[in-house]
Every structure is written in structure tokens, then in C-alpha cells.
Amino acid sequence: MTGMISRVLLLVLAALLLATAAPAQDRPAYRLFTAAGKPAGYDKMLRELAAADVVFFGEQHNDPIGHWLELQLTKDLLRLKQGQLVLGLEMFERDVQPLLDQYTTGELDDKAFEVASRPWPNYATDYRPLLQLARQQKFRVVGTNVPRRYASLVARGGLPALDTLSPATKAWLAPLPLPVDFSLPGYQNMAQLFGADAAHAAGTQNIIRAQALKDATMAYFLHQARPAGHLLLHLNGSYHSDNHDGILAYLRQQNPKLKVLTISTVTQEQLDKLDEENKQKADFVLVVPADMTKTY
């Protein structure tokens, strides 16, 4: 009897210890929220994105979670759209489009493509899996960005620096002359980074014009690349599409009837709720822990 009482007491003590112990907490790698800050599930987001004409995934270029989710999203949208998907990439410039086509159709191997296409330093880990998927599943990948040397020309000498380019070279750019709306919030934020005294200086305005050339070129070529009935998924730095600004401002000028949805990637110290400063940045906000490992 004494032994049985002892066992009962041990069981009761163990139950009490379990009841008073702090509950185990999940350590999520990311959370999704709507623009208003309400929690969003991946499947719900996926269904909404699949019904759009164009989806912008605004990434942080060195964030592994965003790159992983881009790959998963591409696979899932490809399935839901039954192959009617085009992938647009800021990471490749217009003059390497023939190489992208040759790689995704199998004409170029990895080494030849990487030698000639000027890939970003994090290409192997972050973007090659997407191109390999396109090669395997036979969907088109479009490099949308302006060749950086021409953006550099504008940053140094303004838009008139483009006047001397040949017609063949201008074919890699958005149509000229290029209108620049300095009142766009994203461009105003860029000006503020240089301080009040420099905000209206010629040098600052030329840097904003170079950014506008990138945004306008990406908008122009992604719009051209989208066949009717297809979804175009565009990957770019979040600054190019946050607040439905940047690329979207130029895309609206071309086709205001497009159904466009956006994702923005942000980092936060906590993942329980969306910080006020991150609300309304995009239709869906991907929140990654501030201490997440970076790819570079």
C-alpha cells in the first residue's frame, strides 16, 4: 500500500510540474500578414495571387526565407495556372535576354550561361533554382532591368546622357523621353535620405532619375512579356514595389486595368503582429525575424 501511495504522489507531482512549466513556443521562420496587419495563411494568399494578372514579390536580396518562398510560390502558381506563368526578374538585364532564353530552353549549359549573363553574386544559391525550374517545366523567364551602365550614365549626367545612344541600344530601355514624377512617395523618400539641403540638388535628382529609368524599364518589359491569360510573377527588391509605387506607377500608365497584387518582405524583432510602419506596404507582407541568417 505504501508503494502504491508513493507512485500516486509521484504522478501527481509530475502533473503539477507539467502544468506550471512555461508552455513550449513555436519559433516560426516567417509570418504572413495582410496590408491591414491581419494574419494571412499561405494557401489563402496563393489563391488570391493566382487570380491576378501581375504579382510583384518584393524581396530583401540577402534574405534566405524570401528566396525559398519565391521558389515555392513559383511552383505553386505554375501548378494552379496550369503552366500559364511568366517569371520576370530584376536580377537580369535586358541585353542578356537571349542568354536567358537559350538557358531555359536547354541550348546553354550552366557554365556558359553564368560566364556571359552577369549574374548577381548570390545567383547560385538564390536565383539558379528558379531558372532550373523554368528549364525543367518549360516556362519563360524574362530579364526586365535596364543594363546598369545606362542607369549609371543617368546618375552621372541626367536623362540627356541617353540621347547619344544608338537606336539598337535604346531598345533595351523604356521608351524615351522618360517622364519622372518626383512627387512619388518612393522618390521623395530617396530625396530625404540625402538631407534637406541636397534633396533638390541636380546630383540627387539624377540619382532619382536613374531609379526611375530602372522602374520604367522593368514595367515596360514585364508588360510586354505577359501573354493574355498568363500570370506574370516579378521578383524585385521591395523598394521597387512597396506602397504600390516605383514599377507599379509606370505599369499603371501602360495598363491601368491590370489586376496587380504585391508582396513585401520586412524584418521585425517580433512576429506576433505587424509593426505599424510595415502596414499598407503591400497586399501581403512577409515578416522575417530580424536575426535571420543572411545569404551575404
Question: 84, 99, 56: which is closest to 265 by C-alpha?
Answer: 56
**pLDDT of 273 over the 70 cut:** yes
| CATH number reported for the structural domain that contains residue 120 in this entry | 3.40.50.11550
- The answer to whether position 296 is within a domain reads no
pLDDT digits (tens, 9 = 90+) for 16-32: 444 445 455 678 999 99
Residue 83 forms beta bridges with which residues? none
* Domain enclosing residue 171, as ranges: 34-289
Q: What is the pLDDT of residue 204?
A: 93
Could you give the CA distance from residue 227 to residue 101 in angstroms, rounded to a whole number?
16
- Cα–Cα distances (Å) from 67 to 29, 64, 127, 235, in that order, read 13, 5, 8, 10
Instruction: Specify the number of domains making up the chain.
Output: 1
Residue 6 belongs to some domain of the structure: no
Is residue 22 assigned to a domain?
A: no
For residues 294 and 64, the answer to whether their CB atoms sit within 8 Å is: yes
223-227-230-234 Cα dihedral, nearest 10 degrees = -30
For residue 88, give the 3-state DSSP assignment. strand
Buried b (16+ CB within 10 A) or exposed e, 133-158: bbbeeebbbbbbbbbeebbebbbeee
Residue 21 within a domain: no
Task: Establish if 260 belongs to a structural domain.
Answer: yes
Average pLDDT over residues 42-58: 98
Does residue 10 form part of some domain? Answer: no
User: Is 173 a domain residue?
Assistant: yes
Asked whether residue 48 is assigned to any structural domain, the reply reads yes
Each residue of 148-166: pLDDT tens digit? 999 999 999 999 999 999 9
